[in-house]
């Protein structure tokens, strides 16, 4: 049976590729789940890419908006292993950054080679990577630029529509926990999506098993975080007193209608690679774009003749001023109702911890005072301090040592352990 199915899958896949990108929504809506699952199978003859599923789910039929995903079942034997959604930020960045550079089961090596990565979060969890919003990575709109999203709410509705369809396709996940997460600007996506999930679950419109959210180097409260980033650079000696003051006095003059100055000057003080980790600057792996555009990869992923864009500035441009709007009040709702983990690396200059703290101290949730008065504890492993953490209600706060903006890249073992502690115990259990 399995063999027949996989032969059928091969035939279907073979013919599908000649027609274009694999759009799964027609099968999902007609209830033909078997075909959707079979067609989306990722089978690598070279044996480097683990068995997985990839394809497109239509989130707006009228506009022709299709989100690309790549889903890896966990390799752990725990049948109840949760599903983790991972989103990169930007806005405009593909989530393949996470897959090939941070916590996925593959590592980009050169512009045309990749290898299996055995410290992947798939060791403990099923991982779902979505190129989001429409326009990023392989995700696309048949109507550019009208199809590109202009608000946090639209982006969240697309992700929500995606998830409902994904769960129809993989109903076994209804009985496992769902955690939504990602990094950086995905702090806004995750808070907005979590809010939509919460509202729909409350009203009975959704039954998705949403249990929590996790965000690394979270950007979700731009005014507070940008103001405090200025203090961070001043503290580091990268800004003079005069530059610090000028920034504070002039840049927020037009707020909330954008920054009245070129914030890029801060970025240019530290070189680009140092922003992500100021103790161990690294070249951002732009060549992931090349890998995703290899004919053999495109064929395996059923993307037809679509081309892949690692960073799409068009998406960024279309969101415009909305990029600077806060989603703090939505994140507050999540803090009051779900398990939430916020973590950073101590060498992250792109989203420095001091800014995240500022946002958290003014977070409008029921335990704000308790968080204000919380104390950090050290997290030790074999006698070495690897981070610090605090727990306030269901909120877990972690800062890891010797890591930058891409925490799972810089600390693969520790970040996976952190996720396991969060999922199983709610936060770091330092006595384990």
Ligand X SMILES: *[C@@H]1O[C@H](CO)[C@@H](O)[C@H](O)[C@H]1NC(C)=O
Task: Please identify every residue annotated as catalytic.
Answer: 184, 348, 405
The residue to which tokens 């919460």 are assigned: 198
> Of the candidates 66, 176, 302, 306, which one interacts with ligand X according to CB under 6 A?
306
- Should residue 362 be labelled a site residue for ligand X when binding is judged by CB under 6 A? yes
**Distance in angstroms (rounded) separating the CA atoms of residues 141 and 298:** 18
> Of the candidates 250, 254, 307, 378, which one interacts with ligand X according to CB under 6 A?
307
- Should residue 254 be labelled a site residue for ligand X when binding is judged by CB under 6 A? no
How many other C-beta atoms lie within 10 A of the C-beta of residue 38? 19
Q: Which stretch binds ligand X (CB under 6 A): 91-99, 205-213, 365-373, 409-417?
A: 365-373
CB of 210 to ligand X, least distance (A): 27
Which residue, 199 or 374, is less far from ligand X as judged by CB?
374
CB-based contact 423:296 (threshold 8 Å): no
**Distance in angstroms (rounded) separating the CA atoms of residues 165 and 155:** 16
Sign, CA torsion 148/203/392/329: positive
CB-based contact 38:54 (threshold 8 Å): no
- Should residue 76 be labelled a site residue for ligand X when binding is judged by CB under 6 A? no
Which residue, 261 or 354, is less far from ligand X as judged by CB?
354
Which residue, 361 or 432, is less far from ligand X as judged by CB?
361
Which residue, 174 or 370, is less far from ligand X as judged by CB?
370
Which 3 state secondary structure label does DSSP give 168? helix
Q: Report which of 158, 168, 177 is spatially closest to residue 28, judged by C-alpha positions.
A: 168
Which 3 state secondary structure label does DSSP give 89? coil
206-228 burial, b if ≥16 CB within 10 A, otherwise e? bebbbebbbbbbbbbbbbbbbbb
Which 3 state secondary structure label does DSSP give 232? helix
CB of 50 to ligand X, least distance (A): 13
- Should residue 381 be labelled a site residue for ligand X when binding is judged by CB under 6 A? no
**Distance in angstroms (rounded) separating the CA atoms of residues 301 and 137:** 13
- Should residue 118 be labelled a site residue for ligand X when binding is judged by CB under 6 A? yes
- Should residue 366 be labelled a site residue for ligand X when binding is judged by CB under 6 A? no
Q: Which stretch binds ligand X (CB under 6 A): 6-14, 288-296, 300-308, 389-397?
A: 300-308
Q: Which stretch binds ligand X (CB under 6 A): 2-10, 125-133, 304-312, 327-335?
A: 304-312
Which residue, 109 or 280, is less far from ligand X as judged by CB?
109
**Interface size with ligand X, residues (CB under 6 A):** 9
- Should residue 368 be labelled a site residue for ligand X when binding is judged by CB under 6 A? yes
**Distance in angstroms (rounded) separating the CA atoms of residues 345 and 387:** 9
Which residue, 199 or 368, is less far from ligand X as judged by CB?
368
Task: Write out the residues near ligand X by the rule CB under 6 A.
Answer: 118, 305-307, 361-362, 368-369, 372
């Amino acid at each position: 049976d399995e063999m027949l199915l996989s032969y059928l899958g091969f035939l279907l896949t073979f013919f599908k590729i000649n027609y274009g990108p694999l759009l799964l929504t027609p099968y999902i809506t007609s209830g033909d789940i078997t075909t959707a699952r079979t067609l989306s199978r990722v089978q690598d003859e070279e044996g480097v890419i683990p068995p997985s599923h990839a394809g497109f789910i239509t989130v707006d039929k009228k506009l022709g908006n299709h989100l690309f995903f790549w889903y890896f079942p966990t390799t752990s034997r725990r049948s109840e292993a949760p599903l983790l959604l991972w989103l990169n930020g930007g806005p405009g960045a593909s989530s393949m950054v996470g897959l090939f550079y941070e916590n996925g089961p593959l590592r980009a090596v050169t512009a045309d080679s990749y290898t299996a990565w055995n410290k992947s979060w798939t060791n403990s969890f099923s991982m779902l990577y979505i190129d989001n919003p429409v326009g990023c990575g392989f995700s696309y709109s048949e109507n550019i630029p009208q199809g590109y999203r202009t608000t946090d709410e639209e982006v969240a509705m697309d992700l929500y529509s995606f998830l409902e369809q994904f769960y129809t396709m993989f109903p076994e996940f209804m009985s496992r926990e769902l955690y939504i997460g990602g990094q950086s600007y995905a702090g806004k996506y995750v808070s907005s999506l979590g809010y939509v999930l919460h509202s729909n679950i409350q009203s009975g419109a959704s039954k998705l098993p949403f249990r929590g959210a996790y965000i690394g180097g979270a950007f979700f409260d731009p005014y507070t975080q940008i103001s405090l980033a200025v203090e961070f650079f001043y503290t580091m000696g990268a800004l003079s007193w005069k530059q610090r003051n000028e920034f504070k006095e002039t840049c927020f003059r037009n707020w909330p209608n954008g920054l009245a100055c070129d914030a890029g000057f801060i970025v240019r003080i530290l070189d680009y690679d140092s922003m992500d980790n100021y103790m161990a600057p690294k070249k951002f792996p732009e060549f992931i774009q090349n890998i995703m555009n290899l004919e053999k990869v495109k064929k395996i992923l059923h993307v037809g003749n679509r081309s892949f864009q690692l960073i799409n500035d068009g998406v960024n441009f279309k969101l415009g001023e909305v990029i600077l709007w806060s989603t703090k009040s939505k994140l507050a709702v999540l803090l009051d109702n779900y398990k939430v983990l916020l973590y950073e690396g101590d060498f992250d200059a792109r989203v420095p911890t001091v800014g995240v703290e500022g946002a958290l101290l003014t977070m409008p949730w029921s335990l704000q005072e308790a968080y204000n008065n919380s104390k950090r504890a050290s997290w030790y492993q074999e006698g070495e301090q690897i981070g610090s953490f605090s727990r306030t209600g269901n909120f877990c706060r972690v800062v890891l040592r010797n890591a930058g903006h891409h925490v799972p890249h810089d600390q693969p073992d520790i970040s996976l352990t952190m996720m396991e502690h969060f999922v199983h115990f709610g936060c770091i259990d330092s006595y384990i």
